[in-house]
Chains A and B, each alone.
Chain A
Amino acid sequence: MESKSLALENDRDIAVARGLVRKIASDLGFRLIDQTRLATVASELARNVIKYAGSGRLIAQPTESASGRAGLRLIFEDKGPGISNIGNAMRDGFTTGGGLGKGLPGSRRLVDEFNIESEIGQGTRVTIVRWK
């Protein structure tokens, strides 16, 4: 299965993103609970893109580990203001956006791999992987 890219431009795209991710996860044969985890992570991270950067995109890549295990990688990238303190951003309950502060730390708990790169004034890229 090839990669899919989705432009994230407004609130509605958050729901589109989680629907797309659920569909891909289901097509890849992920269990229901993992489909739910992936859809929830997609919703949280797509919302961060819209909320903090205004727009960006989601790339969904079916992938395989060195040992041949199937998985799904999701990349959320934007050209927004960047995150000044990633340590704070990853802390439960910390927020600069008036939310609950669960988006990033919560998302990390729902996936197997979680990586965040950010540069002030350049943008942010969050990459997650969930293995089957």
Chain B
Amino acid sequence: MDGARIPILKVGRVLVVPIQFDMDDQTVIHLQERILHELERTCARGVLIDISLLEMIDSFIGRMLSDIAAMARIMDARTVVVGMQPAVAITLVELGLELKGVETVLNVDEGFKLLRAEFNTPDEEEEEFYWETSVIGK
């Protein structure tokens, strides 16, 4: 449950954030700060947040996702959330959360397609990506 353990990977001009376990509030806040820091440091243009292993989104996490998208937008980056489980989607709607400003797609492939279309660059160029794992201390 330690924020420093959620990796932020840079793939081409996209920051990939795989959320692999339930996060407590501090971890969520910490992750948000790290994503913004990495956006500034790397000049990435997109943020892809993979929530396929996330079993629940409450109003706190929902707001964090909206805030990340809004802040990233101000920093000229687009955010896409991928892989939401059906049970999570149903619960979100019943709860009345809209995830304002957050684009959602079914999987990582679709997420990359959407972001690359936004950057308007040929795929070959984006394919020349490099991996960089950033783990910033607490």
Residues of A bordering B, CB below 8 Å: 11-12, 14-15, 18-19, 22, 32-33, 35-37, 39-40, 43-44, 47, 92, 99-100, 102-103, 105-107, 109-110
Contact between A106 and B24, CB atoms less than 8 A apart:
no
| Distance, CA A32 to CA B86, complexed state (A) | 10
Cβ of B90 under 8 Å from chain A? yes
Give chain A residues whose Cβ lies under 8 Å from the Cβ of B63.
Answer: 99-100
A11 is contacted by which of B26, B58, B87 (Cβ under 8 Å)? B26
Give chain A residues whose Cβ lies under 8 Å from the Cβ of B90.
Answer: 33, 36
Contact between A106 and B95, CB atoms less than 8 A apart:
yes
Give chain A residues whose Cβ lies under 8 Å from the Cβ of B57.
Answer: 40
| New contact pairs (10) apart from A36-B88, A106-B96, A109-B95, CB-CB < 8 Å | A22-B55, A32-B87, A36-B91, A37-B94, A40-B58, A44-B59, A47-B25, A100-B63, A107-B95, A110-B94
A39 is contacted by which of B56, B94, B96 (Cβ under 8 Å)? B56
Contact between B58 and A47, CB atoms less than 8 A apart:
yes
Number of interface residues of B (CB under 8 A): 24
Taking the closest CB of chain A, its distance from the CB of B41, in whole angstroms, is 27
Give chain B residues whose Cβ lies under 8 Å from the Cβ of A32.
Answer: 87
Residues of B bordering A, CB below 8 Å: 1, 22-26, 55-60, 62-63, 85-88, 90-91, 94-97
The residue on B at minimum CB distance from A99 is B59
Give chain B residues whose Cβ lies under 8 Å from the Cβ of A18.
Answer: 22, 56, 58
Contact between B55 and A15, CB atoms less than 8 A apart:
no
